[in-house]
């Protein structure tokens, strides 16, 4: 099969003929129809993100495809089924604390790296091998829609955070980094899940205006300044009532003060979920006040990726019509244009934009 191969960090991808993956028990072989190219893929491939990723490797985290073959223990999946290839691979011998690798992207800890060495190659290829549980059925779709369904990969990360905070219909959610790729996906999901209001702070007025146009009066934009205390007050005053929950999707380039200003908007009993990258490249700690957390019964938790059980729920939101994938504009590249796709994704990062490879 053909695949785009990264031989070393900092060098372009090389289109090559490689050996087809061979599956065994507990594995599925999928024909890749569309693979998302994340906006920061260039940072991963250059080594700037410092992800633990052995080379040579076929990059590409996640895809929409059709099952080509299943292992002998598969009882429901059939060749031809449309599936989302979930890149979050978990060890099967650690039920309570599984080791995790993001296939062809990164790994967590020594166990995750061991898992990665086996499931190392990703979806910038004509075929990909995934664990059986990572081939999640999405139902029949038109092949032309495969690119837009790649939005599921971004949406699942946002959905995992909303499930982690037990977000409920009628609540007010503040999305820190609402003008970014993951933040805007969180906005769309919260609206689909019945939010009373979504407070969307950001510095990009054009994007804030676009969010308001898409989602109407339940979307409340807030223009941020460089004054954390003033920003906290502005976000609280913009909301129609107390802020029940905060989702933080700020990237590594943003300082902790911005995250702290958003979290400090919470009502008594409020919840904050941290899903971004603040501090990953250095900088100050989050430093939330102990007395404020304790006296106001605040819950702060981290969430990395999502549980497998989240996938059917998200697919159900799409199938019901509550969540409209039509928000996403897709730019597709053939596998021969993998390097162009990576550059395009970096230059066109932002809400509701998808760059995909179509092998």
Q: What is the CATH number of the domain that holds 93?
A: 3.90.180.10
Q: In sequence order, which residues have a C-beta less than 8 Å from that of residue 225 and are 6 or more positions away?
A: 231, 234
Are 227 and 266 in a shared domain? yes
Q: According to the model, what pLDDT value does residue 226 have? A: 84
Q: In sequence order, which residues have a C-beta less than 8 Å from that of residue 294 and are 6 or more positions away?
A: none
Count the domains in the chain: 2
188 assigned to some structural domain: yes
The token pair at 263 is 């979290």
Residue 266 pairs in a beta bridge with: 243
316 assigned to some structural domain: no
Are 205 and 138 in a shared domain? no
323 assigned to some structural domain: no
Are 63 and 134 in a shared domain? yes
Are 134 and 270 in a shared domain? no
Are 225 and 293 in a shared domain? yes
CA distance 80 to 154: 24
Q: According to the model, what pLDDT value does residue 327 have? A: 96
Are 7 and 137 in a shared domain? yes
264 assigned to some structural domain: yes
Are 116 and 200 in a shared domain? no
Q: Which domain holds residue 280?
A: 155-302
Q: In sequence order, which residues have a C-beta less than 8 Å from that of residue 287 and are 6 or more positions away?
A: 256, 260
pTM tops 0.95, yes or no: no
Are 142 and 163 in a shared domain? no
281 assigned to some structural domain: yes
In angstroms, the Cα distances linking 43 to 13, 28, 118, 342 are 13, 29, 23, 10
H-run or E-run covering 190: helix 181-192
Are 160 and 138 in a shared domain? no
319 assigned to some structural domain: no
Are 130 and 159 in a shared domain? no
Task: Tell me which of 263, 284, 302 is where a domain ends.
Answer: 302
**Residue whose token pair is 């999946």:** 77
CA distance 179 to 223: 11
**Residue whose token pair is 């029949």:** 140
The token pair at 272 is 């904050």
Are 160 and 144 in a shared domain? no
H-run or E-run covering 133: none
Question: Are 70 and 185 spatial neighbours (Cβ–Cβ below 8 Å)?
Answer: no
The SS3 call for residue 326 is helix
Choose among 25, 45, 20, 327: nearest CA to 189.
Answer: 327
247 assigned to some structural domain: yes
317 assigned to some structural domain: no
H-run or E-run covering 113: helix 109-118
Question: pLDDT tens string for the chain (359 positions)?
Answer: 999 999 999 999 999 999 999 999 999 999 999 999 999 999 999 998 888 889 999 999 999 999 999 999 999 999 999 999 999 999 999 778 899 999 998 888 898 899 999 999 999 999 999 999 999 999 999 999 999 999 999 999 999 999 999 999 999 999 999 999 999 999 999 999 999 999 999 999 999 999 999 999 999 999 999 899 999 999 999 999 999 999 999 988 899 999 999 999 999 999 999 999 998 878 889 999 999 999 999 999 999 999 999 999 999 999 999 999 999 999 999 999 999 999 999 999 889 999 999 99
CA gyration radius, the chain: 20
Are 53 and 114 in a shared domain? yes
């Amino acid at each position: 099969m053909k695949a785009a191969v990264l031989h070393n960090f900092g060098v372009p991808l090389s289109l090559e003929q490689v050996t087809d993956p061979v599956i065994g028990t507990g594995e599925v072989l999928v024909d890749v129809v569309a693979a998302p190219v994340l906006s920061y893929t260039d940072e991963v491939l250059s080594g700037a993100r410092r992800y633990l990723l052995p080379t040579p490797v076929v990059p590409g985290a996640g895809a929409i495809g059709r099952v080509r073959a299943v292992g002998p223990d598969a009882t429901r999946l059939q060749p031809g089924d449309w599936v989302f290839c979930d890149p979050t691979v978990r060890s099967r011998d650690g039920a309570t604390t599984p080791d995790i690798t993001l296939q062809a992207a990164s790994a967590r800890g020594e166990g995750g790296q061991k898992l990665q060495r086996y499931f190392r190659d990703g979806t910038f290829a004509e075929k990909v091998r995934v664990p059986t549980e990572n081939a999640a059925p999405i139902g029949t779709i038109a092949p032309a829609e495969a690119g837009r369904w790649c939005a599921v990969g971004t949406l699942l990360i946002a959905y995992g955070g909303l499930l982690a905070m037990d977000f409920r219909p009628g609540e007010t959610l503040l999305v820190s980094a609402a003008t970014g790729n993951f933040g805007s996906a969180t906005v769309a999901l919260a609206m689909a899940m019945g939010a009373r209001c979504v407070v969307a702070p950001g510095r990009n007025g054009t994007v804030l205006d676009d969010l308001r146009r898409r989602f109407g009066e339940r979307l409340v934009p807030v223009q941020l300044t460089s004054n954390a205390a003033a920003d906290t007050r502005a976000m609280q005053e913009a909301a129609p009532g107390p802020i029940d929950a905060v989702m933080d999707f700020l990237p590594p380039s943003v300082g902790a003060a911005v995250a702290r200003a958003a979290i400090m908007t919470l009502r008594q009993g409020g919840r904050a979920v941290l899903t971004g990258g603040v501090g990953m490249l250095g900088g100050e700690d989050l430093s939330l006040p102990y007395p404020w957390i304790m006296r106001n019964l605040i819950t702060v938790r981290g969430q990395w990726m999502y549980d497998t059980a989240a996938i059917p729920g998200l697919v159900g939101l799409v199938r019901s019509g509550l969540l409209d994938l039509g928000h996403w504009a897709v730019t597709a590249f053939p596998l021969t244009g993998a390097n162009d796709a990576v550059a395009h994704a970096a230059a066109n990062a932002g809400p509701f934009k998808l760059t995909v490879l179509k092998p």
